[in-house]
Amino acid sequence: MPKKPISHTSVEVKLEAVKNVLENHQPVAVVAEEMGLHRDTVNRWVNKFKENGKEGLMNSRSITNSASSKDLKRIRELEKKLKEKEQENEILKKFQAFLKENE
């Protein structure tokens, strides 16, 4: 028998559902029924988690503090820049190795 429907806004609840599906290998339909949710909701959470990790489960509309929203945006920008710099470093390392081979 399904439990009483729960709030969809809690990241912890979403993580619990995702963990039951991915780590405990429970079927999505079973997890959804146990938590009083629709299976499509749980499927969407699992897919968002696979794409973006825990951040994918955060609901941007539930963030009340605009500073938090700005901080999250800034973090994403910095992570993107960091990834670009890491890729540049890899290219430079390969180029340096190429130059050493051709000396």
The rounded distance, in Å, linking the Cα atoms of 100 and 103 is 5
pTM summary value: 0.53
Residue type, 60: S
**pLDDT tens-digit readout, 57-90:** 887 655 444 556 778 888 899 999 999 999 999 9
The rounded distance, in Å, linking the Cα atoms of 68 and 74 is 10
Residue type, 52: N
How long a stretch of residues is the chain? 103
